Chain A
């Protein structure tokens, strides 16, 4: 997950609706403000994997971007973890800071040397409290993996 830049990612209702549709989920707590509030929620809830939207927030049209420096033909996403201190609601304003990261190499069975990049991201809300800890693993393979 890339750092949010500029800081202050506003969690928007319309974007939650769009994202939930994209993951084929019609849960009323994502789409329906009245249903969410009548169930005791502050607003509609961000889907579990919604922080990936924040990680692209800092990108600008033009060359480069968050993924520059890696050959994207050969980058695989190995895994991802989300640990929530509380749900993320529409209206929250998130900032993110990188946590621990590590880098190591392994010999792959099919694609030569594989480089693993593990990184943590801490997401805080408008009060400065941690709401989400994210961890991701990217793998750059030595060659094309076709299956």
Chain B
């Protein structure tokens, strides 16, 4: 709860992922259920004109969700919304950042809005996102 007490606009959190591998994508396929071959099958990816497989948007969205989940507790996230901009490729190293855009009271509880982004090593935004956190009870 201390995260809610002390938070103010402009506060930020970030972390950088290990280098993404095909194994990360395959493990997410198994855990999440997305067996679209474009995320694990090199032959299929080449038939679609791609150099190789790329990561599921929801894989990177899940990785980025660590920011609000770790900061305020996953149980306290009211809303999480993501927009996919660029693909994550094997070899990418992704920096996930969140910044507090607004702190306010609503329904007697403190609410915190966050602007979030997952950016690759070239500075390309893979995902931009927003989250709203508040104590769930």
Q: Do A and B come from one complex?
A: yes
Q: In this complex, which of B18, B28, B74 has the most chain A Cβ atoms within 10 angstroms of its Cβ?
A: B74
CB distance from B39 to the nearest CB of A (A): 10
Q: Chain A's interface: helix, strand, loop or mixed, by majority? A: mixed
Interface string of B61-98 (1 = CB under 8 A from A): 11101101110011101111111101100000000000
A106 sits at the interface (CB 8 A): no
Max chain A CB contacts within 10 Å: which of B37, B62, B87, B137?
A: B62
Q: Which of B11-70 contact A (CB under 8 A)?
A: 17-18, 24, 27-28, 30-34, 36-38, 44, 47-51, 56-59, 61-63, 65-66, 68-70
Contacts of B84 in A (CB 8 A): 76-79
State whether A25 touches B66 (Cβ < 8 A).
Answer: yes
Chain A residues contacting B24 (CB-CB under 8 Å) are 22, 24
Q: How many residues of chain B get a CB closer than 8 Å to chain A's CBs?
A: 46
> Are A82 and B75 interface neighbours, CB within 8 A?
no
B residues near A108, Cβ cutoff 8 Å: none
A-side interface residues, number (CB < 8 Å) = 43
The answer to whether A22 and B78 have CB atoms under 8 Å apart is no
**Cα distance, A56 to B100, chains bound together (Å):** 33
Q: Which residue of A lies closest to B59 (CB)?
A: A23
A146 to B45, CA, bound (A): 10
User: Bound state CA distance, A147 and B50, in angstroms?
Assistant: 9
Distance in angstroms between the alpha carbons of A60 and B137 in the assembled complex: 38
A109 within 8 A of B: no
A57 adjacent to B59 (CB under 8 Å): no
Q: Give the residue name and chain of the A residue nearest to B130 (CB).
A: A81
